[in-house]
Amino acid sequence: MTYIENLRDDTKALPHGEVFDARINFMEHACQALEAGDVPKYHFPQFQLNEKEISYYMEHNISLDEIAFQSMSADLNTFDHDLGEFRTYLQTRFGYWATITKDFMKVWSDELGDAKYLEIMAGNGYISKELQSLGKQSICTDDKSWSKQSKTGHEPLVETESLDALAAIDKYQADVDYVVLAWSPDRDDIDYEVLKRIRKYGLMLICIGEKYGATNSKEFWDNAEYVDSAAIDKLNQIYSRYDLVHDAVYLIK
């Protein structure tokens, strides 16, 4: 059974579970896009149920007898828990870590103009794919040194040069305006080495990650120098934060 099918089964156990169909349909469309080698069209809403939604649903089923009400409450809790597994499913099934969507990348393209990019540790290359499809130059690199532990990068969406992060910066530093790094692992200090390398060449880093959280090393966040940017502010207005992970877009020098 697929993740989406499991969610639909969850709602079948709930009285009037069809009220939750819209959010499952949205999630299914996102999965269908990724399955087809594309990215979802629209930034994600919150998927898990908020307190108001839970209260409203339970109030509208208050007429159930005590046993049925308790069963409904347990089933609702199961459904809400399963909704919260969406990020893990996307990461495991599609190697989709940063929430790259078409509307987000359109704002990126419009706000940063004709900049040239080097994406390092690119995984499946979702960012480079969208930049290239919008007519921008983005060099996609990843040596997949971690590929034995992850499926990420096994099916890249664009041509990806096999270079580690530092070698890629050394090779292309004169040809690009920005280095792009999305969702660098939190237990690897390669990102700190990247930070030192971009400073050597006077480059700017566009980083997508959760500060002192799910991504990047402590050394990286401790040493990052943030650049105020109206373009980055606009990107963060549309970037998806749909669960407990609060990653964001940062411009770092």
Check pLDDT > 90 for residue 145. Answer: no
Domains along the sequence of the chain with CATH: 3-36+49-83 (no CATH), 102-252 (3.40.50.150)
Residue 134, token pair as written in the block: 């919008």
pLDDT at position 152 is 64
Neighbours of 25 (CB within 10 A): 12
- What mean pLDDT value characterizes the chain? 95
Residue 213, token pair as written in the block: 């959280």
Predicted TM-score (pTM) of this structure: 0.93
Please, what is the Cα angle at 76 between 70 and 78, to 5 degrees? 105
Instruction: Write the pLDDT tens digit of every residue in 73-108.
Output: 999 999 999 999 999 999 999 999 999 999 999 999
Q: Give the three-state DSSP class for 120.
A: coil
Residue 123: left if φ>0, alpha if ψ -120 to 50, beta else—which one?
left
What whole-number distance in Å separates Cα of residue 23 and Cα of residue 164? 39
pLDDT at position 144 is 82
Check pLDDT > 90 for residue 119. Answer: yes
Check pLDDT > 70 for residue 153. Answer: no
